[in-house]
Amino acid sequence: MLALTSPVATPLHRLPAGAKLAALALFTAALFRFDTLPALAAALGTVAALHLPGGLPFASHALRLLRPLWPFVLILILWHLWTDDLRGGSALLLRLITAVAAANLVTMTTRLSDMIAVIEGLAAPLARLGLPPRTLALAIALTIRFLPVLSDRLSRITEAWRARSARRPGWRILVPATLATLDDADQVAEALRARGGAG
């Protein structure tokens, strides 16, 4: 349950986690320096090309990870159609999709334990302020891990609702989704305690 790494081996799997996270940070920062649509499209094309060595299964999984973006994409499209700013909307969409795709690529090719080690090293100076680096690293890593899990759980609850009712689910799925999230959190807490905790 605590593994995001793709089983499909790619050359990126062999790179150090620190190097990939640093490259992701620099790449994401550079996206906001690009003002032209061709430059942003080239950035997206570069990220897409980095998925190709993994073959079709790897690329297909990466595309599925982008599905949670569709509500944001729809809102951005509608808003920029309303404001008649198609160029600005296109640039924003390209930045959003490229940044998320790049982040997904890093998580798919990096073991969670390696990311925890990097974050823990970066957070080491915070120990002087009384914040345990291991706890912070674990919290960030679990957040990264559980975002796609929660999205998938919400999708399954929505599908279950639609199979039983002709009405739109709307707010009605919030209670089962919240209870499922709390149940997952309880199971992870028990697993951490069984392994000695976060210390």
Helix, strand, coil percent values for the chain (each to nearest 5):
80, 0, 20
pLDDT of 118 reads 85
Between the alpha carbon of residue 172 and those of residues 83, 164, 167, the distances in Å are 32, 13, 10
Q: Would you give the distance in Å from CA 16 to the centre of its chain?
A: 19
How many residues does this entry show for the chain? 199
Mean pLDDT, each 10-residue run in order, the chain (199 residues)? 64 89 92 89 93 87 82 87 88 92 90 82 80 77 73 80 78 78 80 70
What does each C-alpha distance from 133 to 81, 111, 125, 199 come to in angstroms? 45, 18, 8, 9
Residue-wise burial string across 113-145, b where 16 or more C-beta atoms lie within 10 A, e elsewhere: ebbbbbbbeebeeeeeeeeebbebbbebbbebb
Q: What is the pLDDT of residue 2?
A: 37
- The answer for residues whose C-beta is within 8 angstroms of residue 161's C-beta and 6 or more apart is 169, 172, 173
pLDDT at residue 28, rounded to an integer: 92
Q: Return the ∠ at Cα 1 (arms to 188 and 72), rounded to 5°.
A: 95
* Per-residue pLDDT at 197: 63
At residue 199, the pLDDT reads 54
The predicted structure's pLDDT at residue 188: 78
Let me know if 196 is exposed, middle or buried by CB neighbors in 10 A (0-12, 13-18, 19+): exposed
Q: Which of 134, 124, 136, 143 is nearest to 195 (CA)?
A: 134
Predicted local distance difference test score (pLDDT) of residue 186: 82
Contact present, 37 and 87 (Cβ < 8 Å): yes
